[in-house]
Amino acid sequence: MKNKVAAPGSLAKNFIVRLFNIYTTRMRRLTNGAPKSAEEILDPLDARFRSILLSMYRGEPQPGTDGQIHPIDRTTKISPSQGMWLYDLCVSIKPKATLEIGMAYGYSTMFFIAAAAKNQLGHHTAIDPFQRSRWQGIGLAHAQALTSTTTSDSFRFIEDRSDRAAVDLGRSDSIFEVIFIDGNHRFDDVLVDFYLYAPLCAVGGYIVFDDIWMRSIQTVVAFVRANRAEFVEVPVGQSNIRVFRKVRRDARSWRHFRKFDVSRSSN
Ligand SMILES: C[S@@+](CC[C@H](N)C(=O)[O-])C[C@H]1O[C@@H](n2cnc3c(N)ncnc32)[C@H](O)[C@@H]1O
């Protein structure tokens, strides 16, 4: 039997069709599967918050509380999608009071106050002992400028360590519906933040741990999962945070203890 030989015209046609298929598959991957840009992710935000956040995500120098413009490092931040997760949570549950430990340049702060502005409800507290000394007051300057037109009590800054601030807040019976833990990232500091702020979390409220890529934070999360049944983990589609909802008050006996895993993954 003779081998079939394709006509030169049809070979060229097949080649063009194959090239076209490869091109359209790549384009489809690029348009559908490609990660969204910060511009796209932050699109739902009010323009005042969006433009400052985009400027910061671009790494542009920012004003501090001293009135000067300062360069910023590009690593100290939460991601746009993490920020939008916090924003969406606050827009959906409409908290009366939110709190964050660790402000730095104020990325997370801006998502919280953007949600309060959208809700026309809510008071946000940010705690950071090094806001002026280490971060040139950049987060604070933005937060003050953005809340100066809203009600005067929509934002409060506490320039102190989270452990000391927790005692004062506890004494004044403060309660928060969302608490974002993103301060000192050592194991004992994060565990102490959780221990001190868990009683200040409203029943039905949320505690969010940032930077779950770190072994210290993974280990605190393992402790909470194993030992604090009043906090139920909420699955979220964000790789770098873990979220717990407080469903009742702490009712453990004085000798309660369950073993938990110390993270071994490398970081
Ligand atoms: C990773 S940064 C926070 C980033 C911020 N949440 C954001 O989204 O831009 C950690 C912050 O925790 C602050 N910090 C360190 N020790 C602290 C403490 N004991 N209490 C409160 N904040 C602390 C640091 O000054 C720093 O601003």
The pLDDT value recorded for residue 266 is: 60
Q: Which residue has the higher pLDDT, 207 or 264?
A: 207
Q: How many CB atoms lie within 10 A of CB 124?
A: 28
> Lowest mean pLDDT: which of 11-25, 34-48, 207-221?
11-25
The binding-site residues of ligand 1, defined as CB within 6 angstroms of any ligand atom, are 76-78, 101-108, 127-130, 134-135, 161-162, 182-184
Q: Given the structure tokens 């605190």, which residue do they identify?
A: 220
Ligand 1 atom nearest the C-alpha of 162 is 20
Q: State the Cα–Cα distance between residues 17 and 162, nearest whole angstrom.
A: 63
Structure tokens at 108: 């997370």
Provide the residue type at 258 as one letter: R
Residue among 184, 190, 210 whose CB has most ligand 1 atoms within 8 A, to mutate: 184
Q: State the Cα–Cα distance between residues 116 and 147, nearest whole angstrom.
A: 10
| Neighbouring-strand partners of residue 208 | 180, 243
Percent of the chain with pLDDT strictly greater than 70: 86
Stated pTM of the model: 0.88
Nearest CA to ligand 1 atom 5: 103
What residue spans define the domains of the chain?
Answer: 1-34, 38-246
Cα–ligand 1 centroid distance for 161 (angstroms): 9
- Once rounded to an integer, what is the mean pLDDT over residues 53-80? 97
Q: Give the model confidence (pLDDT) of 138-196 as tens digits.
A: 999 999 999 987 655 799 999 999 999 999 999 999 999 999 999 999 999 999 999 99
Helices (H), ranges, the chain = 8-28, 38-41, 47-57, 80-93, 107-119, 131-135, 138-147, 162-171, 187-197, 215-227
Q: Is the pLDDT of residue 218 over 70?
A: yes
Q: State the Cα–Cα distance between residues 147 and 205, nearest whole angstrom.
A: 24
The superfamily in CATH containing domain 38-246 is: Vaccinia Virus protein VP39 (3.40.50.150)
Q: Given the structure tokens 């369950």, which residue do they identify?
A: 258
Helices (H), ranges, 29-79 = 38-41, 47-57
Residue among 110, 112, 130 whose CB has most ligand 1 atoms within 8 A, to mutate: 130
Residue count (the chain): 267
C-alpha pair distances (Å), 63 with each of 134, 139, 228, 250? 14, 9, 42, 43
Q: Is the pLDDT of residue 33 over 60?
A: yes
Nearest CA to ligand 1 atom 11: 102
Ligand 1 atom nearest the C-alpha of 161 is 20
Q: Which residue has the higher pLDDT, 25 or 152?
A: 152
Q: Given the structure tokens 């393992």, which residue do they identify?
A: 222
Cα–ligand 1 centroid distance for 16 (angstroms): 56
Q: Is the pLDDT of residue 247 over 60?
A: yes
> Lowest mean pLDDT: which of 17-31, 45-59, 167-181, 250-264?
17-31
The pLDDT value recorded for residue 63 is: 97
The pLDDT value recorded for residue 23 is: 35
